[in-house]
Amino acid sequence: MKHKEMNAWTLERYILNELPTHRMKEINQQLNENPGLRAEVEKLRNSNNDILNQYPPDSIVPQILSQYKIEKSRKDQVTRTWPVFFRRLMVASPAFAVALVLFFIFFPFQRDKADLTKHITPTDVVRPKGKQPIDMTKPNLIVYRKSDGEPEKLKNGVKAKAGDLLQIAYAAAKEKYGVILSIDGNGIVTLHYPEKKDQSTVLKKEQKVLLGSSYELDNAPEFERFFFITSMSEINVADVIQKAKRLAHNVKRAKTGDIELVGPFKQTSFLIIK
């Protein structure tokens, strides 16, 4: 990974420890080798601290919530969602919380430009707008790409590049449990759902469920392929990852083949070409 490929957004997520483990290690190595990059990271850290000192979230957020209730009378369910959102956001990413707070101070809130669903989380989730039909007769894996305008719903086999920010979503259909992971052109396996191997694989029953954080493509060559493994019973995540690594050993086969699983599993995949 070259320094020029790491924009400010990537470095901010590095500082907040929000990048995948392998990406954090890559940047740590780059910091050891690149004094200029270390200085840039330190500058961002100082800038974040300055913002937090100038606009303490503990005092700013209550003001925003009060303004929000005055400007827009909403249903009780939505009104309850925002305080929870900001409390979580202050813990997970205070600098990003302040950025959102300042946005709502200086720009009037408009309902038609916000997607206030119960899937709001304190991470950098890409929120696609509008309702898009989903085939609920089978499990689905949906991938969006962040852009300057509305998030772009991608088609299987689409081309993308390092630094593109993706949001993964799933539709469980009738399946009760699931695992989402990806294999890249370097043969690296990344777990996306659940976030840790020892967590439950239970799926939500909504038509479309966005994962809790977005995913930034790194500079691995050729492709990134996402897999959605589902079952009617709890899934052993470690076992699925192990079998995915076997597939990843043959990069050419990983681009088109299935993960070899024993049992009543269903799997669907989504390929991104680099």
* Domains of the chain and CATH, by start: 3-54 (no CATH), 57-113 (no CATH), 140-273 (2.60.40)
Reduce the DSSP state of residue 165 to 3 states and report it: strand
Tokens of 125: 């989730």
Interior/surface letters 21-57, b for 16+ CB within 10 angstroms, e for the rest: eebeebbeebbeebeebeebbeebeeebeebbeebeb
> For residue 9, which of 154, 164, 150 has the smallest C-alpha distance?
164
Task: Round to whole Å and give the CA distance between 182 and 27.
Answer: 20
Residue 138: how many other CB atoms lie within 10 Å: 13
Pairing of strands 189-193, 223-231: unpaired
Element (H, E) at 197: none
Model pTM score = 0.55
Asked if residues 129 and 167 have their Cβ atoms less than 8 Å apart, the reply is no
Interior/surface letters 172-192, b for 16+ CB within 10 angstroms, e for the rest: bbebebbbbbbbbbeeebbbb
At which residue do the structure tokens 């929120």 appear? 127
Asked if residues 201 and 235 have their Cβ atoms less than 8 Å apart, the reply is yes
Note the pLDDT of residue 270.
Answer: 97
Asked if residues 151 and 208 have their Cβ atoms less than 8 Å apart, the reply is no
Reduce the DSSP state of residue 180 to 3 states and report it: strand
| pLDDT tens-place values along the chain, 274 residues long | 444 456 777 787 788 877 788 888 888 888 888 888 888 888 888 877 777 666 666 666 666 666 656 655 554 444 344 444 444 444 445 555 555 554 444 444 333 333 333 333 334 455 555 555 666 778 999 999 987 777 899 999 999 999 999 999 999 999 999 999 999 999 999 999 999 999 999 999 878 899 988 899 999 999 999 999 999 999 999 999 999 999 999 999 999 999 999 889 999 999 999 9
Q: What are the start-end ranges of the E strands in 161-262? A: 165-171, 177-184, 189-193, 209-210, 215-216, 223-231
Note the pLDDT of residue 145.
Answer: 93
At which residue do the structure tokens 């990806």 appear? 182
Asked if residues 153 and 144 have their Cβ atoms less than 8 Å apart, the reply is yes
The sign one gets for the Cα dihedral 91, 96, 100, 101 is positive
